[in-house]
Amino acid sequence: MAKDIRRLFELFETSPVLVAAYDEFDRLRYANAAFRSAYFLEPDEMPLWPDLMRRNFHARRGTVICIADFEEWLRSTQSRRGKVGYRAFETDLFDGRWLWMTETVEKDGWMLCVATDVTGLKAKTRAVRQDRDLAIKASYTDELTGVANRRFVTARIDDMLQQPVGQTSPGCLCVLDIDRFKSINDQFGHQTGDTILRDFAMRIHRLVRRTDCFGRVGGEEFVLTLPATPVEQAKLILERMLASVRKSRPLQGRPDFGYTFSAGIAGAQPGDTAISLYARADRALYMAKLAGRDRIHLDETDPDRSAVAG
């Protein structure tokens, strides 16, 4: 067996096809010679995917990213990256090559990336497919904040609920709502409100795992899916998010201005649909608001509710 594995790696190393594997935290764990050459990686390097993309963007090498605000592009891309079991798309490199990239995600969050050089395809056909990919991206992205939109998040809730019941928790749904957002709009104007929404999306997104999905569903309300995550762990994740937002001072010229959010958490139960799970998380959010805002409330109907303080 060990000999077969060594032979497999030897084949990968000499193949012109780009092969890489990322763990559930989106850290590179393996890359063959073709992948390392295309993305300027040293043999023993294991960077996080966003760090790799960031450094290549600033060095103008690797993937061509035609956008002025890299962090906005990164936030939008990470909102969709690794959220479905398989996806395929085209990408171009600064060296002139075009790649057909596939991403296959296992249940434990590990991702296999395989890319083939398709530079020889007709440019006209390639442009049509690229336009299609951009349209698909736009249909799944919230235009203001750059995170996933209601359509994409709802599909991920359905995915979470369709996972086979095993020993681990099927997951949790969290509904997040910025506190007193209407008052912020009324006092400072809608432009400031938009600034708050973008700041909130950025701060929360930084704390989201690749296997999770965070998106805006409307107004000041956002949703976070946490697959295979028990309620007590979901509460810890949300508490870190509460602390991060409390520290934010997003308005230039107003260093004293801060804001908070409230959240409701519901653990998926047998027979749940996206609608029923969302309704329970939304009801928990309402209870958090009634209790004084800037806090988390857990769904009272969750059988594990008694094990976690609300």
3-state secondary structure of 263: strand
* Continuous segment of H or E residues that includes residue 21: strand 18-22
DSSP element (H, E) containing 63: none
Q: Which of 286, 206, 204, 281 is nearest to 246 (CA)?
A: 204
Known active-site residue 24: no
Other Cβ atoms within 10 Å of 57 Cβ, number: 18
- Tokens at residue 191, please? 């432009």
**Nearest-angstrom CA–CA distance, 310 and 305:** 8
Residue 177's nearest CA partner among 229, 227, 219 is: 219
Helix, strand, or coil here: 282? Answer: helix
Whether the CB-CB separation of 79 and 148 falls below 8 Å is answered with: yes
User: Which is the catalytic residue, given 72, 220, 221, 239?
Assistant: 220
Place of tokens 């991920």: 156
Strand order in the sheet with 98-105: 28-31, 18-22, 111-117, 98-105, 86-92
**Among the listed residues 177, 290, 166, the one whose alpha carbon sits nearest the alpha carbon of residue 230:** 166
SS3 267: strand
Cα–Cα distance between 258 and 245 in angstroms, integer?
8
Rg (CA), the chain: 21
Enter the tokens of residue 307. Answer: 């094990």
CA proximity to 142, closest of 134, 154, 150: 150
Active-site residue set: 220
